[in-house]
Amino acid sequence: VSADPQAGAALTPALTLQPVGRVVSPVTRLDQAPRQGDEGAPVCAIDLDPAILAAAGDLIPGQQVILLTWLHVADRQTLQVHPRGDPNRPPLGVFSTRSADRPNPIGLHTVRVLHVSGGRLTVEGLEAIDGTPVIDIKPILGPIQAR
């Protein structure tokens, strides 16, 4: 099932994201990337935009944070997928999956900050390929951990 890229667009104006950083990772291809961060993601780095460094000034090594990314190689027309790519499983609407392929391919990750140095964060637990734009960083709040 594919979206009609024109339908509905006129009613809701598009919004503009400005990346605040990007992922620097040894993983450069989708087929090397683990599907979830607890399935073997390597240590990688986030290089922050110098213009927004003050926003990151209170991040602390050891802290777990929520990272939002833009999964830039995703297919934005995909509305249904087979879970985990298994054709034997019935297709699900992408809002019921963590598929990268979805209308707005935002990645939601829980990662641990290992080091903070200048404009670079070193993190563990991030399943995103090299060059992935980072769009937000949030602290974890409350009993329900968003991951």
Structural tokens at position 65: 């944070």
Residue 97 near its own copies by CB under 8 A: yes
- Does the footprint of its own copies cover residue 141 (CB under 8 A)? yes
**What is the separation, in whole angstroms, between the first and last Cα of the chain?**
26
Residues 46-65 that bind its own copies (CB under 8 A): 47-52, 54-59, 64-65
- 98 contacts 89 by C-beta, under 8 angstroms: no
3 state DSSP class of 11: coil
Q: Residue 147 half-sphere exposure, CB side, CA atoms within 13 Å?
A: 18
Nearest to 38 by CA among 138, 126, 99: 126
> Does 6 participate in binding its own copies (rule CB under 8 A)?
yes
Is residue 12 near its own copies by the rule CB under 8 A?
Answer: yes
Confirm or reject binding of residue 14 to its own copies (CB under 8 A): yes
In whole angstroms, the minimum distance from the beta carbon of 87 to its own copies comes to 15
Could you say whether residue 26 binds its own copies (CB under 8 A)? yes
135 binds its own copies (CB under 8 A): yes
- Give the one residue of 33, 41, 70, 100 binding its own copies; rule: CB under 8 A: 70
Give me the least distance between CB of 71 and its own copies, in Å please: 11
Asked whether the beta carbons of 112 and 37 are under 8 A apart, the reply is no
Pick from 32, 93, 100, 127: which binds its own copies (CB under 8 A)? Answer: 93
CB of 77 to its own copies, least distance (A): 10
Check: CB of residue 129 under 8 Å from CB of residue 27.
yes
Residue found under tokens 């890229």: 5
